[in-house]
Copies of this chain bind each other. A is one copy, B any other.
């Protein structure tokens, strides 16, 4: 058990679209991610997924509703089964915190070159 500082953890990596685990709360993972550009359309059949923006502007597209725009201090919860596509503006970097069940795959059931199989813990 130790104090976890978000900025210190963010300083430990620079790769995009590769969430890092910083803690676990009763089976849910707390992750940090840096992203830039467009992700792929996907959903998570069983898991809700929380996106919390630390820096930058995040867009999340949905199939049947308006795109959400999130700025620092904003969060959104993508419910299980709802297809979504995170992306950033003009390829700029966004820093995120994620809260989601530990067994989640960030590309859902889509197998893609971006799919991470074993999340690094930092």
| Chain A residues close to B by CB (< 8 Å) | 1-7, 23-26, 28, 30, 46-50, 62, 65, 68-70, 73-80, 82, 99-101
CB of A4 within 8 A of CB of B76, answer yes
Describe A's contact surface by its main secondary structure: strand
How far, in angstroms, from A79 to B24 measured CA to CA in the complex?
A: 9
Select A99's contact among B7, B30, B82, beta carbons within 8 Å.
B30
CB of B73 within 8 A of CB of A23, answer no
CB of A82 within 8 A of CB of B1, answer yes
CB of A100 within 8 A of CB of B4, answer no
Between A and B, 28 residue pairs with Cβ closer than 8 Å are A1-B62, A1-B65, A1-B76, A1-B78, A1-B82, A3-B68, A4-B74, A4-B75, A5-B74, A6-B74, A6-B75, A23-B50, A23-B77, A24-B48, A25-B28, A25-B48, A25-B49, A25-B50, A25-B77, A25-B99, A25-B100, A25-B101, A26-B28, A26-B46, A28-B28, A28-B99, A30-B75, A30-B77
